Structure 1
Amino acid sequence: MTSQLLVRSMTVESEGVLSVELVDPDGRELPAWEPGAHLDLKLTDQLSRQYSLSGDPADRHRYRVGVLREVAGRGGSAYVHDVLRPGQLVGFTGPRNHFRLEPAGRYVFIAGGIGITPILPMIARVEAQGVPWSLLYGGRTAASMAFTSELAAYGDRVTVHPQDAHGLLDLDALLGTSRIDTLVYCCGPEPLLRAVEERTASWPADALHLERFAAPEPPARDPAGEHEVEVVLAESGITLTVGPDTSILQAILDAGIDHDHDCTEGICGTCETKVIDGEVDHRDYVLTQREKDAGDCMMVCVSRACGKRLVLGL
């Protein structure tokens, strides 16, 4: 169910980045959240976008998100920057969290541009816990990098690295040696994520945690390898035949089942669905390998079945 939030304030954080403070219109407490969570904001009837929560999880009366104006975006950032104003209401669902902060002996945080937003509450949490950590934060220019004044309080544990002044991030020096007690959290543009993935390939399994804002180029698939699947919606009592050219999500919607979804690219986690029976061909960029191996949920917008039948909790 979608509820509403009131835009209480909007602040310029850097060139091209606004932070938006959201509260309950009646002053009530907001749903709890943990570092790494995001909100699905319904800006208009046709425009819904996900934004990482960047404030304090202990503050149950306000949410804060950061929004980068994207010139080549899908319209959400332009709406926030050009139309949305304090005093207006927006719909929301969530918070949802597919970028959870797991326990570790040490953390390495890497952020690129607006990817700093989910990292901020993570840093605050591990700092409060007394766990060692470091942050490497890159951006195009110093003027484009948001929330640097907040980060200044952490001293030399934070490295702010604008590309125009210092070049590309030195990921080889940071990640060249794997560490068994360390988790790496990274959020930013796709080239940065790919570079971090390459340099942590020899690290322990599940050491790397990524959050994507856009889906990478999908691997080429032979259409002849796709197949029809029977999908049983256990709670609805409906059985669907999903053709090789139709997503399971689309088949669910075509059957008249109202199922939350947004990106349709396997990156936001909105369409996560319980799997009761059947083996999943996971094609999303949200679940960890451990979660995929468990096989008890799937992103129905992109993932399919390895076999001929799936039973879902819908």
Structure 2
Amino acid sequence: MSVATDLELDLVLAARAQLADDVVGLSLRDPSGAMLPAWQPGAHVDLVLGPDLVRQYSLCGDPADRSVWQVAVLREPAGRGGSAYVHEKLAPGATLRIRGPRNHFALVPSPRYLFVAGGIGITPLVPMVAAAEASGAEWRLLYGGRTRASMAFAAELRDRYGDRVELVPQDERGLLDLDAALAAAPGAAVYCCGPEPLLAAMTQRCAPDSLRVERFTAKPGTGPNAAFEVELAQSGRTLAVPADRSILAVVEESGVPVLSSCREGTCGTCETGVLAGKPDHRDSVLTPDEGEAGDVMMICVSRSAGPRLVLDL
């Protein structure tokens, strides 16, 4: 896996639309009309909403249409201000700095897929479903939400794909029947995005090599921290990382610039090469195989499994 490099673009908010209760869709275009960079299903971008307000949103449009990028944003009353800014202050004509696209949730080739979405977790799965359909694969989408009116893209997906899309509004049908869905899709590549209880339930039920998840919030804590050292190979400096601080914070304090965004291990922006030592992966980005390889890590949350790491910084 290669260390991520980001593009930065200034795009214009060409249009916005109400997709569902508390969900707004944004259409972003180049102000000159130029084509936008290519992307694949599962990709997301950073919206730079202010100096300290950067949020990640999945691209949910058609990858073949490079004239526009589309994202969908859920208003989260208990959030940290990003969704409120989008819903209350962003109007068509506004210019936004965009970083990306970045993809740690890529769709792997498979003859069979099971897609499981909870709420706004439908966004990265919309282009995945279209890609699976175009490939001729067998697939099924299980999509749950609080109410039918809260479920963005629900009617569009059902109208386009029929019974392969199962909509489960909780107020009408209760919770998703994950066991039945998995039993009906043996050998499928399983993709899941949604709230942490759904991801945890799927993780309990699936073999690690069959399940791919994307988180919008930080993974639950994974244990106590210990102090260690990091050597920055490019400068030859060695820094002490105390138990109560992240590698990213220590490296930044030393004056070494590192591109970062979420600081929660969910976006992949701070992905850094590991030259020696064993990382203690605590991010929500790397697959088990990628983590086992140990050649990259997300330095905003991950730590060292030993006394020392050598990083490509």
TM-score of the two chains, using structure 1 as the length reference: 0.94
Question: Which structure 1 residue ranges, 5 or more long, are not aligned?
Answer: none
Q: Distance in 2 between matches of 1:76 and 1:245?
A: 27
Counterpart of 2:260 in structure 1 is: 261
- The counterpart of 1:207, out of the listed 200, 207, 210, is 210
Q: Distance in 1 between matches of 2:8 and 2:191?
A: 30
Aligned partner of 1:114: which letter?
A: I
Q: Distance in 1 between matches of 2:289 and 2:140?
A: 25
Question: Which structure 2 residue ranges, 5 or more long, are not aligned?
Answer: 1-6
| Stretch of structure 1 that moved more, 301-310 or 37-46 | 301-310
- Please state how far the C-alpha of 1:46 moved relative to its aligned partner: 2.0
* Structure 1 residue 11 corresponds to structure 2 residue 11: no
Counterpart of 1:126 in structure 2 is: 132
* Equivalent residues of 1:44, 1:90 under 8 A apart: no
- Please state how far the C-alpha of 1:309 moved relative to its aligned partner: 2.1
* Equivalent residues of 1:176, 1:199 under 8 A apart: no
Q: Which has the higher contact order (CA 8 A, sep 6+)?
A: 2
* Structure 1 residue 311 corresponds to structure 2 residue 279: no
Counterpart of 2:270 in structure 1 is: 271
| Stretch of structure 1 that moved more, 274-283 or 75-84 | 274-283
TM-score of the two chains, using structure 2 as the length reference: 0.94
Counterpart of 2:4 in structure 1 is: none
Residues paired across the two proteins, number: 306
Aligned partner of 1:273: which letter?
A: T
Counterpart of 2:181 in structure 1 is: 174
- The counterpart of 2:172, out of the listed 146, 149, 165, is 165
Match runs of 1:1-314 below 5 Å: 2-151=8-157, 152-176=159-183, 179-180=186-187, 182-200=188-206, 203=207, 205-221=208-224, 226-229=226-229, 231-314=230-313
Q: Distance in 1 between matches of 2:61 and 2:237?
A: 42
CA deviations 1:6-63 (Å, max 9, x no partner) are: 1000000011000000011111121111100000110112210000000011111110
Distance 1:147 1:177, change over 3 A: closer
- Please state how far the C-alpha of 1:149 moved relative to its aligned partner: 3.0
Aligned partner of 1:153: which letter?
A: R
Q: Which secondary structure does the structure 2 equivalent of 1:138 belong to?
A: strand
* Equivalent residues of 1:57, 1:121 under 8 A apart: yes
Q: Distance in 2 between matches of 1:178 and 1:57?
A: 27
* Equivalent residues of 1:228, 1:241 under 8 A apart: yes
RMSD: 1.4
Q: Which secondary structure does the structure 2 equivalent of 1:87 belong to?
A: coil
Distance 1:124 1:178, change over 3 A: closer
Aligned partner of 2:241: which letter?
A: V
CA deviations 1:75-99 (Å, max 9, x no partner) are: 0000000000110011111101110
| Stretch of structure 1 that moved more, 26-35 or 155-164 | 26-35
Q: Percent identity?
A: 55
CA deviations 1:197-243 (Å, max 9, x no partner) are: 1222xx3x41000001112431342x5xx1321x2222344332222
Distance 1:165 1:178, change over 3 A: closer
Q: Distance in 2 between matches of 1:178 and 1:306?
A: 37
Q: Distance in 2 between matches of 1:195 and 1:133?
A: 20
Q: Distance in 2 between matches of 1:170 and 1:211?
A: 20
Moved over 6 A (4+): none
Aligned partner of 1:141: which letter?
A: T
Q: Distance in 1 between matches of 2:100 and 2:185?
A: 35
